[in-house]
Amino acid sequence: MADVILVLNAGSSSIKFSVFDAHGAISDRLLYGQVEGLYTAARFTATDRAGTVETTEWAQGAELGHRGAIEHIAEFLKAHREERHLVAVGHRVVHGGESFAGPVQVTPEVIRELEKLVPLAPLHQPHNLTPIQIVSQLRPDIAQVACFDTAFHRTQPETAQAYALPASITARGVRRYGFHGLSYEYIASVLPNFDASAAAGRTVVAHLGNGASMCAIVAGKSIASTMGFTALDGLPMGTRCGNIDPGIVLYLLDELKMNARAIGDLLYRQSGLLGVSGVSSDMRVLLASDSADARFAIDLFTYRIARELGSLSAAMEGIDALVFTAGIGERSSAIRERVVRDAAWLGAKLDAAANEAGGPRISDASSPLSVWVIPTNEELMIARHTQATIGGFRAGGTPRG
Ligand code: ADP
């Protein structure tokens, strides 16, 4: 019977799942899918190597919720067991705080520690913890591993992690944590296959999805990133504002009399590409739009990327490679072209045909800065961490140790 690892990536309105063979060098997913619209009109899809195997839809307003979704995924996996034996579940958890610098096997104490971090990521952390708690109840015999978006950044120097605030505040854990770490770690792990000298040197990875950030990586280790205490900082995103002067928050409080909840909603859900364009948070829609505000939203997005690229290059005292990844980075040749053009001063020269074709290398042979498109794979990273954390398997599929 084949031992498998289940990876769960739970957000506020969806849960994605992937199933990997637990043995050997973990590579392709055997099966994957998601439940979207958990609190509106839920929809389940599952796909294996041969194509879609199941689609289920719930009525509008049926509110499946996180528990209902996990139970549905569990029932589906049971029904499609096909000689598979589940040995561990790996979870994406956005915040590992200061203490978790790597993946950890879940215990009741770990859950208590992770619950303490909810105030640091109130929009994400509770959704990540819910599936852990549900699996603990449904299958207490199964090993669970939490993998953190912050962990990869714990190698950053103290100056990159600190804010210039009084010690009475920073001692409470107010520091730059950085996010998208599982994506950066995956890119760092495969970069040697694309550009061995850059992998040993200085690379900026631009993870441009709904959430967007950039990370400076030297010899495989994070040394700086654009996200800070929360996932609001840095680049403008689909609906998040990115870097703004904190004085704006004081203005919103004092002059516009907004409360913390309204400000949170403004900065997380009504800003970024959506707020500026008034059209959409989806880069595809903005690129196809002839609205001047949509064009300005794109200008602001690429301008901020150019500024952050300069800043991260300064932190590394130079740059050898630039990597694009995530939804926009992997699929939008137009955005990549603009970013590479803005990086001409760093030595970037675009190979237009390669860029249109989607890479992997999109800089021309004479470009001193090599530029790449590399699809990210956070789920694979979680599966690898889960395998390594539980330390292999005995015959029969029982986790060791
Ligand atoms: P998430 O951060 O939610 O994981 P993704 O990495 O999947 O997001 O990126 C989603 C975003 O990618 C979408 O909002 C969309 O704007 C963008 N995107 C996807 N395909 C394209 C494309 N062909 N051109 C431009 N943008 C795209």
Most confident of 9-13, 77-81, 262-266, 394-398: 262-266
CATH topology of domain 2-148: Nucleotidyltransferase; domain 5 (3.30.420)
Task: Report the pLDDT value the prediction gives residue 63, as an integer from 0 to 100.
Answer: 83
* Confidence band of 262 (pLDDT split at 50, 70, 90): very high
Rounded CA gap, 179 and 99, in Å? Answer: 15
Written as six digits, the tokens of 30 are 């055997």
Top mutation candidate among 331, 338, 355 for ligand 1, by most atoms within 8 Å of CB: 331
> What does the pLDDT look like over 163-207, one tens digit per residue?
999 999 999 999 999 999 999 999 999 999 999 999 999 999 999
The active-site residue out of 3, 21, 149, 233 is 149
Bigger pLDDT: 12 vs 394: 12
Helix (H) or strand (E) holding 144: strand 143-148
* Confidence band of 218 (pLDDT split at 50, 70, 90): very high
- Residue 49 Cβ inside 6 Å of ligand 1? The answer reads no
Task: Report the pLDDT value the prediction gives residue 123, as an integer from 0 to 100.
Answer: 79
> What does the pLDDT look like over 105-116, one tens digit per residue?
999 999 999 999
- Residue 36 Cβ inside 6 Å of ligand 1? The answer reads no
Distance 208 CA to ligand 1 centre (A): 8
Task: Report the pLDDT value the prediction gives residue 60, as an integer from 0 to 100.
Answer: 82
Closest ligand 1 atom, CA of 282?
16
- Residue 372 near residue 321, CB atoms below 8 Å: yes
- Residue 348 Cβ inside 6 Å of ligand 1? The answer reads no
Closest ligand 1 atom, CA of 210?
2
Rounded CA gap, 333 and 329, in Å? Answer: 8
Please provide residue 13's backbone torsions phi and psi, each rounded to the nearest 5 degrees.
-125, 0
Report whether pLDDT(5) > 60: yes
**Burial letters for 180-215: b for 16+ Cβ neighbours within 10 Å, e otherwise?**
bbbbbbbbbeebeebbeebbebbbbbbbbbbbbbbb
The Cβ-side half-sphere exposure at 235, using a 13 Å CA radius, reads 32
Q: DSSP string of 299-354?
A: HHHHHHHHHHHHHHHHHHTS-SEEEEEHHHHHH-HHHHHHHHHHTGGGTB-B-HHH
Q: C-alpha angle 48/323/89, rounded to 5°?
A: 35
Closest ligand 1 atom, CA of 335?
25
At the fourth CATH level, the homologous superfamily of domain 196-378 is ATPase, nucleotide binding domain (3.30.420.40)
Rounded CA gap, 44 and 288, in Å? Answer: 29
- Residue 283 Cβ inside 6 Å of ligand 1? The answer reads yes
Bigger pLDDT: 379 vs 25: 379
> What does the pLDDT look like over 342-354, one tens digit per residue?
999 999 999 999 9
- Residue 97 Cβ inside 6 Å of ligand 1? The answer reads no
Place of tokens 């049926």: 62
- Residue 326 Cβ inside 6 Å of ligand 1? The answer reads yes
Distance 295 CA to ligand 1 centre (A): 17
Distance 180 CA to ligand 1 centre (A): 15
- Residue 238 Cβ inside 6 Å of ligand 1? The answer reads yes
Report whether pLDDT(290) > 60: yes
Crossing angle, helix 246-254 and helix 260-269, to 10 degrees?
130
Asked if the domains at 2-148 and 196-378 fall in one CATH topology, the answer is yes
Task: Report the pLDDT value the prediction gives residue 393, as an integer from 0 to 100.
Answer: 46
Written as six digits, the tokens of 178 are 């950085």
The Cβ-side half-sphere exposure at 279, using a 13 Å CA radius, reads 19
* Confidence band of 399 (pLDDT split at 50, 70, 90): very low
* Confidence band of 401 (pLDDT split at 50, 70, 90): very low
Rounded CA gap, 155 and 26, in Å? Answer: 25
Distance 374 CA to ligand 1 centre (A): 14
- Residue 211 Cβ inside 6 Å of ligand 1? The answer reads yes
Report whether pLDDT(239) > 70: yes
Bigger pLDDT: 305 vs 53: 305
Task: Report the pLDDT value the prediction gives residue 400, as an integer from 0 to 100.
Answer: 38
- Catalytic status, residue 299: no
Closest ligand 1 atom, CA of 207?
6
Task: Report the pLDDT value the prediction gives residue 116, as an integer from 0 to 100.
Answer: 93
For the ranges 45-49, 82-86, 96-100, 129-133, which has the lowest average pLDDT?
Answer: 82-86
Task: Give the pLDDT mean for 55-81.
Answer: 86
Q: Provide the residue count of the chain.
A: 401
Top mutation candidate among 14, 15, 18, 210 for ligand 1, by most atoms within 8 Å of CB: 210
Question: In 10 A of CB 13, how many CB atoms?
Answer: 14
Report whether pLDDT(395) > 60: no
Secondary-structure breakdown of the chain: helix, strand, coil percentages, each rounded to the nearest 5 = 40, 20, 35
Shortest CA distance to 319 belongs to which of 240, 170, 206? 206
- Residue 282 Cβ inside 6 Å of ligand 1? The answer reads yes
* Confidence band of 398 (pLDDT split at 50, 70, 90): very low
Report whether pLDDT(81) > 80: no
> What does the pLDDT look like over 311-352, one tens digit per residue?
999 999 999 999 999 999 999 999 999 999 999 999 999 999
Task: Report the pLDDT value the prediction gives residue 148, as an integer from 0 to 100.
Answer: 97
* Residues with Cβ within 8 Å of residue 357, at least 6 apart in sequence: none
Please provide residue 36's backbone torsions phi and psi, each rounded to the nearest 5 degrees.
-105, 165
| Residue ranges covered by each domain of the chain | 2-148, 196-378
Place of tokens 């999805």: 209
Average pLDDT, the chain: 93
